[in-house]
Amino acid sequence: MVLIQQIQIELLGPVNFYVGMGLKIFSAILLGGIIGLDRESKHKSAGFKTHILICIGATLYTAISLINLSVGGQNADPNRVAAQVVSGIGFLGAGAIFRGGGSVTGLTTAAGIWVVAAVGVAIGSGYIVSATIFTFTVLIVLKILDPLHRYLRPELDYFFEVVGTTASQEEVIKLTEKMCEQIYSYEIFEDSVNKSREISHLYIKISPKKVKLLVRQMKAIHKVELINYRLLKEIPEFDARKV
């Protein structure tokens, strides 16, 4: 058995074997956990612990392959291990993808798993600083580009709930028809607590740039008491008579 005295770490150069391995493992836990926290906060199937384990696994596989290269000479090829990590992680990512109701979900989570494995390979290769830069690039994509993309998209689907009088609900419908690209469905219910009030449920397509303007104009309508709205990932099926 040959003992490895030193391993290479980016910017630090050769360091003690155990110090270097400790830095790699700590970096894998930290960087994998940072991405995992974002996924956990969004209630995705692969969360905090999953991303840490993936990053640690990719780090250790890569680090051990480099150790085998230094011990076994030219007969060992660390690129083969990295290639197996890349292909093998695809099976785990596929498990995060779901199809149902005419839509596919989990693609971003699967891509995140794939990227975390790449971060682990970079850490295992000794490029800890580069892996850190890549990690924060991933966070920029997940936290900044996604809201920006939603804002720039021309039209999105929203659900609105408006509470007010019968007269105010008629004005709300007219305003919505004027400002929205499409109304999928709307229903008006009598408030079970206060019979003088009605509640409208509207499923609409509108530009994100117009949403706040629509809310302001709805609030300006006399006797509109409450407005709640949210972005929809998909529109449910409706009876055509409700539109």
For CATH 3.30.70.260, the residue range(s) in the chain are 156-242
Please check whether the domain covering 156-242 is classified as CATH 3.30.70.260: yes
Say which residue the tokens 């990227």 belong to. Answer: 115
Q: What is the DSSP letter of 145?
A: I
Please state, in angstroms and rounded to a whole number, the distance separating the CA atoms of residues 160 and 170: 15
Task: Compute CA distances 142 → 2, 73, 123, 149, whole Å.
Answer: 44, 41, 21, 11
Q: Which of 206, 200, 146, 138 is nearest to 171 (CA)?
A: 200
- Tens digit of each residue's pLDDT, the chain (243 residues): 555 678 889 988 889 988 999 999 999 999 999 999 888 887 777 788 999 999 999 999 888 888 877 766 556 666 777 778 877 887 777 776 765 444 456 778 888 888 999 999 999 999 999 999 999 999 888 887 766 766 666 778 899 999 988 888 888 988 988 888 788 888 888 877 777 789 899 999 888 878 888 998 998 888 888 899 988 877 776 554 444
Furthest-apart CA pair in the chain: how many Å?
Answer: 86
Residue 172: which residues within 8 A CB-CB, separation 6 or more?
A: 162, 164, 200, 202, 218, 221, 224
Task: Compute CA distances 213 → 216, 218, 219, whole Å.
Answer: 5, 9, 10
